[in-house]
Structure 1
Amino acid sequence: MVVSQSAFALMVFTDRLFMSRIDALHIASALGGGVTFFVSIAFFMGVISYATAVVAQYYGAGHMDKCPRVVTQGVLIALLCQPLLALVAWQAGNLFAVMGHEPAQVRLERQYYYVLMAGSFFTLVKTGIAAYFTGIARPRVVMIADLFGVAVNIPLTYALVFGAWGFPELGIRGAALGTVIATVFTIAVYMVFYFNRVHRQRFSVAASFHYDAGILRRYLRLGLPSGFELFVGAATFNLFLLLFQSYGVTEGAAMAIVFNWDMLNYVPLIGMNIAVTSMIGRYVGAGDMTRTNQVISAGFLLAIGYSLVLGIGFIVFRTELMNVFATPEGDFGAIARLGSQMMTGLATYVLADATILIASGVLRGAGDTRWLMKTSMLVHLLMLVSQVVIIKVLDFGPMASWWAFVVMLLALAMIYSWRLLGSTWRAPERLARVMAE
C-alpha cells in the first residue's frame, strides 16, 4: 500500500513539475484546481473508500460472498451521485474568483478543475475497487494497478501538456486529461484481477451484481461519518489553501511546492493508514481483538520511523528542495526564500501526520467513525476560523498563517492519541453493533 500510494504521489509530483516548466502561475493553479476537485468528491470518496473496512470485516468473519457485493454497492453510489457532482462543479468553478485570485490564475484553475470533474465517476470507481482488494488482503493487486497507471500517466501527461510526439499541446488541461485517462486504464487493470477465474469462484463474483439492502445500509451507516469527516477536512484545508493564495502568486507557488514535498511523507502514510484499517477490520470481523495491539505497534514503528527520516531531510535540504521547482522565467528567489521557511514547519508536523493517520486507521477499522467525524470536523473548523482571523482580519503575514496550520495538526495528533489509548473503541458491545447489518 505504501508503494501504491507513493506511485500516486509521484504522478501528482510530476504533473506539478511539468507545470513548473511553464511558470509559477501554472504551479499555483494546479494546486488550487486539484485540491478543489478533491474537496468536490471528498464526501462520496470518503463513503466509498470505507469499503476497505467493510470488506475486511466480512473477510475476517468468513463471509467471502459478501465482499464483492460491497463493490457493487459502491459503484451504485458512484453512479447515483453524478448529477449532484455536476451541480457542485457548476457552482465550485466560481470559488476561485471569490477567493480573490488573479483572473489569469482563475482561468487556469477552472480548466484543470473541470476536466478532473468530468472524470469523477472513474475516480470514485477506482477508489472502491482499490478498497476492495485491500480489504481482502490483496494489496499487491492495488500496487500493480497503480504502478501501471503511473507508467501511462507520466509520459501521456508530458505529451498532452507540451504537445510532444504528435499530441495536441493542451497545457494545464492536458495534465488533468492525462490523469483521467490513466485512471480509466488503472480500472481496466483491476478488472483483469477481479474477473480472474480463481477469484470469481472463491468470492462468488458472478452472484454479486445486484442491490443488497443489508450491506448497503451497513456500508452507509459506517461510511457516511467517514465521508463527512473527509469532506469537512478537505473543504477546510482547501479554503485555507485558497485564503493563503490570496497573499499573492509568490505565496501560492511557495505553498504548492512545499505541499508537493509534503506528499512524499503524507501519501505513503495514507498507504499505511489503509493497511492498518484493513488489518484491524479483519480482526474485528474475526472477533480477535488481541492482535490489534501488534498492528498498532507495527504501524507506529513504521510511520514514525519513516516520517522522522524525511523530516530531517526537509530541514537539512530545504533550499535545494525548493530549487528543484525553479521556474525558467521570473524571480524565483522570493518563492524559494518563503518556501524554505515553510519547509521548517513541514518538518515539524510530519510526525503529527504519522500519528494522526495510524491512529485514525485503527479507529476506522474498528468502526469508530462517528467519533472521528465529530473530532476532525471540530478541529478543522476551528483551524479555518483562526485562518480567516489571521489572514483577513488581523492581516498577519504568511508565516503566521502557516504556523497556525502546523499547531492545528499537532493538536489533532494529541487528541487522536488520547482516544486510541482509551478502551471505548474496543468495547465488545460496540463492536457487535459495528458488525450488525
Structure 2
Amino acid sequence: MNSIVSEQAGSGWASELRATFSLAWPLVVAQVAQNALFTTDVIMMGWLGPEYLAAGTLATATFNPVLLLGGGIVSSVAPLAAQALGARQIRNVRRTVRQGFWVAILIALILLPIVWQVRHILLAMGQDPQLAAMAQEYMHIAVFVLFPGLGLFAMRSFLSALGSTRIILYATLFGVFLNAIGNYALIFGHFGFPRLELRGAAISTVLTNLVMFGTLLTYALTHRRYRRFHILARFWRPDWARFWEIFRIGTPIGLTLMAEVGMFAVAAIFMGWLGTSALAAHAVALQCASFAFMVPLGLAQATTVRVGLSFGAGSNQGIGRAGWTSLVLATGFMTITCILFLTVPSVFVRLFLDPGDPASLTAFMMAGTFLAIAGLFQIVDGAQVVAVHVLRGLNDTKIPMLIALFGYWCVGMPIAWFLGNEDRLGGVGVWIGLATGLTFCAIVLTARFALRERLGLVDRRRMVLSA
C-alpha cells in the first residue's frame, strides 16, 4: 500500500505530468468508451427514425440530470479516499467505500419513483404527447439502471483513488461491446430476439451497467492488492459520521453536475418547441460535443485524485502542479476539437444522419450548424470541468456549486431562452446561451483555484481524517 501513497511524492512539473498521464489515460479512454455507450444508443435510435431519436433524447435529457445528481454525491468517495491515502489513514478508505454503497442505494430508492413519472414531466413542459409516451416506454425500463449505475460511481471512485484505472477502462470497453450487441439484437430483433425498439435499448443499457458494476466489484474483492480493504465486510454496520460526510461533500458535487446537465436538458426542451428536426439535430450535435468532452472529464477525474493526495500530504506545491498541468492538457486537447468542429462538422454528423434521406435532410443541415457553434465553447468547457474537479480535491464543493448554478441558470439559460425563440435565432440562439454559461463558469472557477491560498482552500483543517 505504501507504493500507492508514494506516487504523490514526486516533485517537479515533468514528474507531475508523468503521474497525471499515467493515472488519467485509462480514465480518459474509459470516459470515451462510456460515452460510446450512449453514442451507440443515439446512432441506433437514429436508424429507427427521427421520432425515435427525438423521444430517446427527451427521455435521457430528463433522466441524466437526476442520475448525475446521485452519481455526483457518490463520487465524493474519490477525494475522501485519496485524502485518506495521502495522510496514510487506510481505515478511512474502507469506511468511505462501504458508506458510498449505502448512499448509492438510498439515492436510487428516492429517485426511482420520480423518474417513473417522465411522461407527466414532459407533458408539463409542453412536449409532444406522442414523443412523451415513447419516452415513457423507454424510461420505465431504463430507470432501473440507477442501482448498478450509482454503484459504478462508487467503484470507479474507489479504484481511481488507489490508482487502479486500467480495470475501469477494460470493464467499460467490454460494456461498449456488450451494449452494441444488445442494442442490435433487441432494438431491431436480430439473433432470434424480438424487435423491441426503444424498450430494447433500455434493456441493453440496464444489463450492460449491471455487468460493468459486477466486474469492478468482483475485481476489488478478489485482487490481492485490494481485497485487504474488505469493502463489503460488516456491510450492514452503520458508520453515520462517514455516511453524512459523503453527503456533505458530495451533495454540492451532485448539484453542480445536475446544474450543468440540467442546462443541456432544458436546452433539449427548448429544441423540442422548435420541432422534431431541431431536437434530432440538437441530439446529434450534443453527442459529438459530449464525446470530445470525455477527454477533459477523464483527465479531471484523475486530477481530483492527484490534488487529494497532495492535499492529504500537506503539499501546496503539489496541489498547484496537479491543477495547472491538467488545465493546460485539457484546454490544449479541446483547442484541437474546436478546430475540427468548426471546419468539418458534416464529417461527424454523417455518423448519425443520412443526408440522402429526405426525412433526415433538415435535421442534418441544422446539426452541422449546431456543431460548428459547439466548437466555439470546447476550450472553456474543458477548462471549467478541470477547474471544478481540482477544487473537489480540496473539499471545496459548496462555492463552486453556487458558481455553477449562477453561471448555468442565471447567465446561460436566460440567453438560450431569449435568443432561442423561433422569431430570433432559434436553435442557434440556444447554443449561444450554452456557450455563454460555460464561459462564465470557466473564468470564475479557474480564478478561484488560482487564489486558493488567499481563500484558505489549502488549510488541512478542512479535511476530514478521523482516526
CA contact (8 A) 1:218 1:436 kept: no
Q: Gaps (5+ residues) in structure 1?
A: none
Partner residue in 2 for 1:95: 121
Q: Does 1:232 align with 2:250?
A: no
Q: Is the 8 A contact 1:39 1:231 kept in 2?
A: yes
Give the equivalent residue in structure 2 for 1:406. 435
Which stretch of structure 1 is more off in the superposition, 264-273 or 365-374? 264-273
Listed as ranges, the matches of 1:19-38 within 5 Å are 19-38=45-64
Quick one: which of 320, 324, 332 aligns to 2:347?
320
- Of residues 336, 341, 359, the one that matches 2:364 is 336
Q: For residue 134 of structure 1, what is the aligned residue in structure 2?
A: 160
Q: Give the aligned length.
A: 437
RMSD: 2.1
Structure 2 Cα separation of the partners of residues 88 and 425 of structure 1: 42
Structure 1 counterpart of 2:202? 176
Q: CA deviation at 1:78?
A: 2.0
Q: Report what 2:242 is aligned to.
A: 215
Task: Check the 8 A contact 2:384/2:445 in 1, yes or no.
Answer: yes
2:396–2:457 Cα contact (<8 Å) kept: no
> 1:260 corresponds to which residue?
287
Distance 1:401 1:130 in 2: 34
Deviation, structure 1 residue 332: 2.3
Question: Counterpart in 2 of 1:114?
Answer: 140
Counterpart in the other structure of 1:190: 216
Could you say what secondary structure the match of 1:435 adopts? coil
Q: Quick check: which one's helix share is greater? A: 1
Q: CA deviation at 1:237?
A: 2.7
Residue 8 of structure 2 is matched in structure 1 by: none
Tell whether 2:367 aligns with 1:364. Answer: no
1:426 to 1:136, Cα distance in 2 relative to 1, 3 A: farther
C-alpha deviations, 1:296-318, integer Å up to 9, x for none?
23212321221111111112211
2:298 aligns with 271
Q: Aligned equivalents of 1:104 and 1:168: distance in 2?
A: 23
Which deviates more, 357-366 or 91-100?
91-100
What's the CA shift for 1:161? Answer: 0.7
Deviation at 1:151, TM superposition (A): 2.0
SS of the residue 2:138 aligns to: helix
Deviations 1:395-434 (A, max 9, x none): 6522122212212211221111211211347737743123
Q: What is the identity percentage for the equivalent residue pairs of Structure 1 and Structure 2? A: 22
Q: Mean Cα displacement is larger for which, 413-422 or 233-242? A: 233-242
Question: Partners of 1:144 and 1:120 in 2: how far apart?
Answer: 21
Contact (CA 8 Å) 2:342, 2:373: kept in 1 or not? no
Deviates more, 1:171-180 or 1:199-208: 199-208
CA distance in 1, matches of 2:434, 2:457: 37
- TM-superposed CA distance for 1:436, in Å, is 4.9
Give the structure-2-normalised TM-score: 0.88
Shift of 1:262: 0.7
Mapped partners of 1:265, 1:420: distance in 2? 24
The aligned residue for residue 96 of structure 2 is 70
Of 390-399 and 16-25, deviating more is 390-399
Q: Is the 8 A contact 2:274 2:422 kept in 1?
A: no
1:247 aligned partner, one-letter code: L
1:261–1:143 CA distance, 2 compared to 1 (3 A)? same
Q: Distance in 1 between matches of 2:36 and 2:223?
A: 33
Paired residue secondary structure (1:93): helix
Q: Is the 8 A contact 1:193 1:199 kept in 2?
A: no
Aligned with 1:94: secondary structure? helix
Distance in 2 (CA, whole Å) between partners of 1:380 and 1:434 is 29
Name the CA shift for 1:364/1:188 in 2 (closer, same or farther; >3 Å).
Answer: same
For the pair 1:415 / 2:444, whether they are aligned, the reply is yes
After the TM superposition, which of the residue ranges 164-173 and 289-298 deviates more from structure 2? Answer: 289-298
Which secondary structure does the structure 2 equivalent of 1:246 belong to? helix
Q: Does 1:378 align with 2:400?
A: no
1:2 aligns with 2:32: no
1:284 Cα offset (Å): 1.0
Q: 1:392 Cα shift?
A: 5.7
Is 2:321 the counterpart of 1:294? yes
Deviation at 1:97, TM superposition (A): 1.9
Deviations 1:65-86 (A, max 9, x none): 2213222112111222344223
Structure 2 residue identity aligned to 1:233: E
Q: Identify the residue that residue 463 of structure 2 maps to in structure 1.
A: 434
CA deviations 1:335-388 (Å, max 9, x no partner) are: 222222212211100001110011111111111101111111111221233433
Instruction: Please list the CA deviations of residues 88-143 of structure 1 after superposition, one character each: whole Å capped at 9, or x if unmatched.
Output: 12333312222332233212211222222122111111111111111111111211
The one-letter amino acid paired with 1:419 is: R
**1:18 aligned partner:** 44
Instruction: Give the superposition deviation at 1:24.
Output: 1.2
Question: 1:164 aligns to what SS in structure 2?
Answer: coil
Q: How far does residue 21 in structure 1 lie from its aligned partner after superposition? A: 1.1
Cα separation, 1, equivalents of 2:327 and 2:195: 45
Partners of 1:141 and 1:271 in 2: how far apart? 14
Cα distance in 2, alignment partners of residues 226 and 431 from structure 1: 20
Task: Please report the TM-score for the alignment, with normalisation by the length of structure 1.
Answer: 0.94
**In structure 1, what is the Cα distance between the partners aligned to 2:451 and 2:261?**
27
From 378, 381, 394, the equivalent of 1:353 is 381
1: CA distance between counterparts of 2:465 and 2:89?
13
Deviations 1:152-204 (A, max 9, x none): 11111111111110112110111121111011111121122111252355424
Q: Verify the 8 A CA contact 1:251 1:338 in the aligned structure 2.
A: yes
CA distance in structure 1 between the partners assigned to 2:108 and 2:324 by the alignment: 40
Distance verdict in 2 for CA 1:82–1:410, change over 3 Å: closer
* One-letter amino acid of the counterpart of residue 346, structure 2: T
